[in-house]
Amino acid sequence: MDRRLLLAAVTLPPLVVGAIALGHPASLTVEDAHHWKVMHIWLIPLFPLLALGPWLVARHVDRAAGVVVALVAYVYATAYTTLDILAGVGAGALKEVEAGGLGIILPLAGDFEQVGGIAYVAAAALGAGVALRSTGWLAGIVPTVLVVLGGYLLWQHHVFRPWGPTAQVMLAAGWGWFAWLVSRAAAAGRPGRANART
């Protein structure tokens, strides 16, 4: 995969999510319910794209390892999309009409948030581990910290300010850094690249 395309694919989704997250209300109120709902509708197609970072970076190094990372990232993508639909769109719609049901829908959404958050941290750790085979520990330690900590902040704080947007910037920086490193290693013909053909 072309280096510029790889960089765009791993950095743009978290940057767009982070920009949208800057407008995330601190809590769900009747006054903010419509904004809450519409914002989460926009996030439905974007949250799964966060899985591109770990998958594409790992795949760039080793195709077989990329499959494993893709499977874990898929768990994140499905669980986090469900969270967004329930706690974002569903809860916002209920609050907008001042209907009951938040006590049922939010705990259910929280369960999906746990599964999705853990899966993203796992995908980030696996993707970083695969990338380290190509980049080496010294070059890869900073992006590893960025993607794992960014994944953890996403899990713990969703996209609430200030840590949600911060997590997205960390993910964009970390996956972008890794994309640049693994592309450079591939161009130099370094080990760890033999099994990957994009």
Domain ranges across the chain: 3-188
The tens digit of pLDDT for each residue in 153-167 reads 999 999 999 999 999
Please provide the average confidence, as pLDDT, over all residues in the chain.
Answer: 94
Determine the Cα–Cα distance for residues 117 and 124; give it in Å rounded to an integer: 11
The answer, yes or no, to whether residue 191 has pLDDT greater than 90, is no
Summarize pLDDT for 111-160 with one digit per residue, the tens: 999 999 999 999 999 999 999 999 999 999 999 999 999 999 999 999 99
Please state the separation of Cα 38 from the chain's center in Å. Answer: 20
Backbone angles phi, psi at 101, to 5 degrees: 110, -10
48-72 pLDDT tens trace: 999 999 999 999 999 999 999 999 9
pLDDT of residue 166: 98
Residue 138 pLDDT? 96
Distances (CA, A) of 94 to 38, 61, 166: 13, 45, 29
- Residue 190: what pLDDT? 67
Say what the pLDDT of residue 192 is: 57
- C-alpha dihedral (29, 32, 84, 157), degrees to nearest 10: -70
Tell me the per-residue pLDDT of 70-124, one tens digit each, with 9 for 90 and over.
999 999 999 999 999 999 999 999 999 888 889 999 999 999 999 999 999 999 9
User: How far apart are the C-alpha atoms of 123 and 21, rounded to whole Å?
Assistant: 22
